[in-house]
Structure formats: C-alpha cells, structure tokens
Amino acid sequence: MTIHSTAIISEEVQLGKDVVVGPYTIIKGQAKIGAGTIIENGVTIGSDHGIVEIGEQNHIYAGAAIGGPPQDKKYNNDNTRLVIGDKNQIREFATLNIGTVPGGGTTNVGNGNLIMAYVHVGHDCFLGNNSVLANNCQLAGHVHIGNNVTVGGSCGISQFVKIGNFAFIAGFSAVNKDILPYCIAQGNYATVRAANKIGLERAGFTAAQVEAIYKAIRILSKGSDTIEARIARIIEECGRTAEIDNIIEFIRSSKRGLAI
C-alpha cells in the first residue's frame, strides 16, 4: 500500500492490498476500496453520510469526485450508496453520486468501464460492464445503461432513460427516450438510425446474428403499424434467438417510450 503524505484518509476508510493513494486526495466516511486500485492526485472519495464501495484494480484519475451527495433536493443526509466494480477507469474530473432513498438507494457501476473526463453519473444510475462514456457525457438520475455500450462525447441523457446492450450513441446527442439494444442512435432528440453492425462484428457476432438484428431493428424503426404488430413480424421473420428475445424484452419493458 502506498499513501502519499499529503493525502487525508478518515479512520473509517478500508483500503485493500496494494492500493495507491496520490497527493492531496481526500477519502472520508464509510468508504471501502479494493486491492490494486490506483487513486491519483486531488481525488475526493466519500461523504459524511453515504457509503462508497469500490472494487479491485480500478484507476481513478486526478480531480474525480466519487460518492458525493446526490444532486437532488429530496436528499436528506441519507445513508445511501455508490457501488463500483472492478477494473474501471474513471478519468479526470468525473463525478459519480450516491443513490437516493426513493430511487432504491444505490448507484451502480459494473466492471471494465471507461468513464472519460468530466462525465457525470447521477444518483441511482446503473452502468453495466465494458461500456464507454466519452468526455463530458451527462447522465441524469436513474439512467440505466447496459453492457458494451458506447456513448459519444457531450451527450445528455434524461432521467429514467434505458440504453440497451451494444448500443452506440453518436456524440452531441440528446437522449430522452429508450435506446434499443444493438443499434446506432443519433440526434437531438436521438432516434435509431441503424443497427450497430460494425460494433457487433468487432464484438464477435456472426454474420447471421448481425443480419437478424439488422432486420429486427429495421422492422421496428421503419414500420408504421403498432408495436405489437412489429414484434409479431420480428418473431416471424427473424426467429427467436437470444438477441431477438433481448430486443423484444427491452421493447416490452420500456417506460419512457422508444426512440424510433
């Protein structure tokens, strides 16, 4: 364990094996940081009331603020949480807030994510695994982002929006409705433009899987009949693969409406 002499760490904090804490970093309150995590200079982790749990082998860069109080008027010094998994990169001046009681009490970040500079992850958000949030993305409260998602720079995502697995959101988009899995979305406000064919191919999807996904997204985005009629057509024309079932489940669980 390496802790710089200028770092300030409260007695409650638990640090795992081989944690590195850089100059002028402050870690306070009920914070637990897993083995091998590197925390650079000028980072603030924790708050007087919340709980922060950070896993192993994360790298947190200069100026990040991790586990501060939610930006919500209803917050009343509640003992809510921010839980971060393993092997994430959290870049300069990113901000990640703890949850709120009405939102379930926990902000969750999974494993292997790249959260770039000046990104904000609001209270009660859920971020899955292996996703990229590019510079200056702003996530309002309660946003749900799946696995292997890429969000371009300077995107704004409204509260309660869901973004499905393997989606790609083009930079400078404003997202106010749910984004289908496996698609590319863009615009102000963002709508589905196409299947994320290149991203899927790079991720190892077969040609047959990509073709079925492409057809399903085209049926949804170009159809003029009801959503249920389009789902029936997808099942008839694309079959029932894991990917098609994921799309159908996502559609039926949408509460904000679909960006199609």
> Is-catalytic flag, 245?
no
Catalytic residue among 123, 142, 146, 178: 123
For residue 24, which phi and psi values (nearest 5 degrees)? 60, 20
Q: Which of 46, 141, 156, 199 is catalytic?
A: 141
How many whole angstroms from its chain centre is CA 28?
24
- Known active-site residue 123: yes
| CA neighbor of 168 nearest in space, from 192, 141, 138 | 192
| CA geometry: angle 39, 42, 48, nearest 5 deg | 85
The residue from 124, 142, 146, 152 that is catalytic is: 124
The DSSP output letter for 256 is: S
- What are the tokens at 4? 């710089």
Which structure tokens are listed for 163?
């973004």
Question: Which candidate, 14, 18, 25, places its Cα nearest to that of 2?
Answer: 18
Angle between helices 227-238 and 242-253 (to 10 degrees): 180
Phi, psi of 156 (to 5 degrees): -115, 130
Tell me, yes or no, if 124 is annotated catalytic: yes
Q: Which residues are catalytic?
A: 123-124, 141
